Chain A
Amino acid sequence: MRMRIIAYFILAVIGTTALVASTGAESADATVDPAPLTLVQAIVCEQVENLAPKNPAVVFPLDLGEVACFTAFDPVPEETLIYHQWYFRDEPSARVRLRLRPPRWSSFSRIQLRPGDAGPWRVEITDVDGKIMALRRFSVVE
């Protein structure tokens, strides 16, 4: 009888240890998340050619006709959306939705310049939750 109790106790200790060990292994698996969405490049430029920004600057002439904002993300852990929000003198002017796909993605938006658009601008790059990932300021001059 006494031998049987000792055997049960040993079995219970072994069982508990195994259970704790398996729980710890699951926790370790949960902390190993994929790298978050990361913005590696945000450039305001005259135009985008072959998925590369051309003539980045902070002052653009109005007669250029358009201004582009080029953004590159690496990594892109999952398919998601980002926004390019354009502001003219603190007033919202345009909001462009862009889709990103794993594992990395580049995208751009552009605005057409019209008479009266001369002045200070900014473009905010925000994630799907509205969090500002980057902000670029530039001016359009006559």
Chain B
Amino acid sequence: MKTIAFFLASLRWQDLVDLLLNSYILFRLYVLFRGTVMVRVLTGLALLWIAQLLSGRLGLILTSWVIQGIIAAGALIIIIVFRNEIRSVFQARSLRSILWGFPRHSVQTPIEAITAAVYELARRRIGALMVIPGEKDLGDIFQNGIPVDARISREMLVSIFWPDNPVHDGAAVLNGDRIAQVGAILPLSRREDLPSHYGTRHRAAAGLTEQSDSLVIVVSEETGRVVAARSGRLVPIEDNLSLARMLAEHTGQSAPGEPPRDERIDYAVAGLICLILVVGVWFSFSRGEETLTSLEIPIEYLKRSAGMEIVETSAGAVRLDLSGSGPLIRALRPEQVKVQVVLEKMGAGAHSIVLTPDMVRLPPGIGLKKMTPTTVEITLDMVGEKSLPIQVDWVGPLPKDLRIVSVEVDPPRTRVVGSRSDLSAIATIYTEKVSTTGIESSGSLAIGLVLPEGTTGIAPGAADRVTVHYEVAPPTP
């Protein structure tokens, strides 16, 4: 529970955008390719990828490599094999429908009309060949049909195969609720094992289904029997209910009498699965491997009382041992981490402050493992001002025949600012070094002042430079 709470608290807004965006992309791919074989193949690839991860974790190096190779080859094969499906999805749709829209409710194939037509043709012993395409594009297999684009009805189907109709010998291609083509010449099967009583129509049905995922219904002119061909296999259909069930299964519709499927539920479930998948992948990438790092972060002291100064601290910085996912740790910059100690209501004097994790500000996704030191000693004092006499800091060497007998500093004093305890120990402020080299006679020079330790600066308006007037005299013999 604590882990989940930490995980939720450590989520950045970028992570949420990452998750939602990728879930949506995956969901859109599902929507676009829904119902095609590609979804199943991609699912298979996803399972392979999970297997590769697991084998990698278990140390099965060879298995992991093999699966990795299969995935790489599979991805390439998918693009080649399903190029037509991919092309049709992206060509047939506008940008808006690719990014946002949902395909309209799939057109329902009128199963009852087809079943009725098939059994009427069978009763009348009229030969017929009907192709109900699957997901695979048939354009590569045959292209010789006559486009019709008529709505499917029992009467229309019967009339197409009615003897003396010019197109009654070929196959009718039924796409959704339309008769797409008639008079189509299908490729014949070369199989030797087909029963001898099967004629050209049966051989054509077997030939097409060997090369595609279509369902082909054959009505025998001689016997009036109905045979369905799928995946190269010819299955006799005993009655209209069996045919209706087979058609429903092939088109993915509910069979007559069964309740229709709600597409919204399908989409909702698919969306949820996409989100779970992406969260899983994201988690394995960004959280899977914990990385450690150490940073030296200066302590920030906040909300000091007015006029209060930090005189001394036992530690100016703390060492933080941090953990997080590799990408987050690599992207971590020291300025993103802060250690803040609030000095509110602390009076002058020495204080011992225990450093706690809530004083450490970390970017989301980064955890604190250890902090060194855990206690910091701090001395506070009030800021004060002090007037100090100025003394010249002479440096030699002093020429042998030269004697500096008097010095006057203008102004003789200045004021400095610092903590009161420090100021109490300071009695003099010195000038910068003044060299005696080159001095031959009395004169004056301008020089800056050196701030003593413990002071924070020269008081506003006070002198930070002075003029030194000096007088020299030869040594008394």
Residues of A within 8 A of B (CB): 54-62, 87, 89-90, 118-120, 122, 137, 139, 141-142
Stretch from B159-167, B251-259, B424-432 forming part of the interface with A: B424-432
* Complex-state Cα separation, A58 to B394, whole angstroms: 10
The answer to whether the Cβ of B55 comes within 8 Å of any Cβ in the partner chain is no
A61 (CB) vs chain B CBs: closest residue: B398
Chain B residues near A118 (CB-CB < 8 A): 395-396
CB contacts (< 8 Å) of A122 on chain B: these are: 391, 428
Q: How many residues of B are in contact with the other chain, CB < 8 A?
A: 22
Contacts of A55 in B (CB 8 A): 403, 475-476
Interchain CB contact under 8 A, B404 and A57: yes
Residue of A nearest to B439 (CB): A59
Bound Cα distance A120, B390 (Å): 11
Nearest CB in chain A to that of B429: its residue:
A90
Q: Which of B398, B403, B430, B436 contacts A120 (CB 8 A)?
A: B430
**Chain B residue with the shortest CB-CB distance to A119:** B393
- Whether, in the assembled complex, B397 has its beta carbon less than 8 Å from a beta carbon of chain A, the answer is yes
Which 3 A-B pairs have CB atoms at the shortest separation, nearest pair first?
A141-B396, A139-B394, A59-B404
Q: Which residues of B contact A89 (CB under 8 A)?
A: 430
B407 interfacial by beta-carbon distance below 8 Å: yes
Decide if A141 touches B475 in the complex (CB within 8 Å). no
CA distance A25 to B60 in the complex (A): 122
Once the chains are docked, how many angstroms separate the CA of A56 from the CA of B406?
9
Please give the distance in Å from B99's CB to the nearest CB on chain A.
78
The answer to whether B393 touches A120 (Cβ under 8 A) is yes
**Bound CA–CA A118/B436 (angstroms):** 13
Evaluate contact between A137 and B391: CB separation under 8 angstroms. yes
Q: Of A62, A87, A90, A141, which is within 8 A of B436 by CB? A: A141
Assembly CA distance A102 to B428 (angstroms): 35
17 new A-B contacts at CB < 8 Å, known A58-B470, A118-B396, A139-B392? A54-B476, A55-B403, A55-B475, A58-B404, A58-B405, A59-B403, A60-B398, A61-B398, A89-B430, A90-B426, A120-B392, A120-B393, A120-B428, A120-B430, A139-B393, A141-B397, A142-B397
> A120 to B407, alpha carbons, bound, how many Å?
13
Question: Contacts A58-B406, A59-B394, A61-B398 known; A90 to B428 CB distance under 8 Å?
Answer: yes
How many Å lie between the Cα of A142 and that of B435 in the bound state?
A: 11
Pick 24 A–B contacts, CB within 8 A, sort by A: A57-B403, A57-B404, A57-B405, A58-B404, A59-B394, A59-B436, A61-B396, A87-B427, A89-B430, A90-B427, A118-B396, A120-B391, A120-B393, A120-B428, A120-B430, A122-B391, A137-B391, A137-B407, A139-B392, A141-B396, A141-B398, A141-B436, A142-B395, A142-B397
Determine if A56 and B396 form an interchain contact, defined as CB atoms under 8 angstroms apart.
Answer: no
Cβ proximity bits B303-319 to A, threshold 8 Å, 1 near / 0 not: 00000000000000000
Report which of A58, A61, A120, A137 forms a contact with B397, defined as CB distance below 8 A: A61
Report the minimal beta-carbon distance from A42 to chain B, rounded to whole angstroms. 13
Contact pattern, B 439-477, Cβ under 8 Å of A = 1, otherwise 0? 000000000000000000000000000000010000110
Partner of B394, one of A54, A90, A141: A141
Given contacts A90-B426, A141-B436, contact A59 B398 (CB under 8 A): yes
Nearest CB in chain A: distance from B432 CB, A: 12
In this complex, which of B397, B398, B428, B475 has the most chain A Cβ atoms within 10 angstroms of its Cβ? B398
Nearest to B399 among chain A residues (CB) is A61
A62: chain B residues at CB < 8 Å are 396
Within the assembled complex, what's the spacing in Å between the Cα atoms of A120 and B476?
Answer: 23
- The smallest C-beta distance from B422 to any residue of chain A, in angstroms, reads 12
Docked complex Cα distance between A42 and B404 (Å): 17
Chain A residue with minimal CB distance to B393? A120
Bound-state Cα–Cα, A142 to B436, Å = 10
Chain B residues with Cβ below 8 Å from A54 are 476
A contact residues around B392 at 8 Å (CB):
120, 139
Residues in A neighbouring B393, C-beta threshold 8 A: 119-120, 139
Measured between alpha carbons, how far is A55 from B436 in the docked complex, in Å? 18
Q: A122 CA to B475 CA in the complex, in Å?
A: 22
For B430, what are the chain A residues with a Cβ–Cβ distance below 8 Å? 89, 120
**Which residue from chain B places its CB closest to the CB of A139 in the assembled complex?**
B394
CA distance A59 to B471 in the complex (A): 11
Q: Chain B's nearest CB lies how many Å from the CB of A94?
A: 16
A118–B396 alpha-carbon span in the complex (Å): 9
Residues of chain A contacted by B426 (CB below 8 angstroms):
90
Q: How far is the CA of A124 from the CA of B470 in the complex (A)?
A: 22
Nearest chain B CB to A39's CB is how many angstroms away?
18
Contacts of B470 in A (CB 8 A): 58
* B475 CB contacts on chain A under 8 angstroms: 55
How many angstroms between the C-alpha atoms of A79 and B208 in the bound complex? Answer: 138
* A55 CA to B476 CA, complexed, in Å: 6
Across the interface, name the chain A residue whose C-beta is closest to B408.
A58
Give bound CA distance, A102 to B432, whole Å. Answer: 44
With a CB–CB cut-off of 8 A, which chain B residues contact A141?
394-398, 436
With a cutoff of 8 Å between Cβ atoms, the chain B residues found around residue A61 in the complex are 396-398
CB proximity of A139 to chain B, nearest CB, Å: 4
Min Cβ gap A43→B in Å is: 10
- B475–chain A nearest beta-carbon distance, Å: 6
Cα distance A142–B393 when bound, in Å?
A: 12
B342-378 CB contacts (< 8 Å) to partner A: none
